[in-house]
Chains A and B, each alone.
Chain A
Amino acid sequence: MPLSRIKSKMEVSQLRLDSSAASTDVNERVLLDGTDAADTNDGYAVILEDSTANAFDGGPFVLSQTPISVANPAFRVNLAASQNLSHSTYTKIAYTMIRSDVGGYFDNTTNYRYQPLIAGYYQFNAAQMDLSGIDVYDYELRFYMNGVIHSTSRLRRTGVTNGDSYASVINVNDVIHMNGTTDYIEVYARAISEDGSGTVILYGHPNDSANCYFSGVLISRTS
């Protein structure tokens, strides 16, 4: 029986479709405005009873499961104090200061990494100023995904003397798919002095994150 014909009996009861194999409810209509006696030109929703045939499943929308509502993950962290590195050594940047972290997925106390629990494509950005008082001629910023290099940005000048990169800022940006369970992103930096030694200093400040930040946002869910 068309559902519209039994609506008067449903005023105070539930509408339950029979999910048995013999059901004929698939593609029945639920009228959203019961004043239309003609059952036409009215708002309605088509109910697809069989979840395996749901055309929206498999993409960013999953209609065959209980819907969830979460805020879109986004974060921005920065170096709260300058960080010293060894010459020519890739070193993780210790972002301890959280500016924002929707979802709370950034670890700013132990591993200094972003590990979101929602799968999808994320836009990541990092910027870092070199504050070394040595002659840095080669300066690199990297995204590491699960401990392996994923993206890099590099400023390298050859044939120079006293190639000081003091106050120079480099950026690395990328769109990276995260599986929402185990994947994580970290930022590493390396600087090389033409002197062949010396302490590298990365700029950090508790009240100035313009040149020492790591940020990201979910741009497209995949589950």
Chain B
Amino acid sequence: MTGYYTTINQLVTKIKKVHTSLSDDDLNNSEIIELQNNLDGRGDYIKKWKHPSLAKPTQEQLDAV
């Protein structure tokens, strides 16, 4: 399903590969980025992305890494 990843840590790993300059402090700051899993069978997804300089990864970028 688009934007969702059911394997543990698959989404966070892909985000780090897309944005290698993304710091852990920003990734872990819920004011900037929030990853979430609602246990609805779909998996992890990006709930919030408000990074000041890095754009939210596109589906194509996530699929490519």
* A interface, CB within 8 angstroms of B: 84-92, 94, 111-112, 138, 188, 190, 192, 196-199
Number of residues from B at the complex interface, CB < 8 A: 20
B24 — nearest CB in chain A belongs to which residue? A196
Residues of B within 8 A of A188 (CB): 36
Q: Please state if A138 and B8 are interface contacts (CB–CB under 8 Å).
A: no
Query: Shortest Cβ distance from B30 into chain A, in angstroms?
Result: 8
- Residue in A90, A111, A112, A199 whose CB lies within 8 Å of B34: A90
Residues of A within 8 A of B30 (CB): 90, 190
Q: Please state if B11 and A89 are interface contacts (CB–CB under 8 Å).
A: yes
Q: Please state if B24 and A90 are interface contacts (CB–CB under 8 Å).
A: no
A contact face: mostly helix, strand, loop, or mixed = loop
Indicate if B62 sits at the interface (CB-CB under 8 A): no
* B interface, CB within 8 angstroms of A: 8-13, 16, 24, 27-28, 30, 34-40, 44, 47
Q: Please state if A92 and B11 are interface contacts (CB–CB under 8 Å).
A: no
Query: Shortest Cβ distance from B56 into chain A, in angstroms?
Result: 16
Q: Please state if A86 and B12 are interface contacts (CB–CB under 8 Å).
A: yes
Q: Please state if B39 and A138 are interface contacts (CB–CB under 8 Å).
A: no
Q: Please state if B39 and A91 are interface contacts (CB–CB under 8 Å).
A: yes
Query: Shortest Cβ distance from B42 into chain A, in angstroms?
Result: 12
Q: Please state if B36 and A89 are interface contacts (CB–CB under 8 Å).
A: yes
In the complex, A113 Cα to B35 Cα: how many Å? 20
7 pairs of A and B residues whose beta carbons are closest in the complex: A89-B35, A91-B37, A92-B39, A90-B36, A86-B9, A192-B28, A88-B28
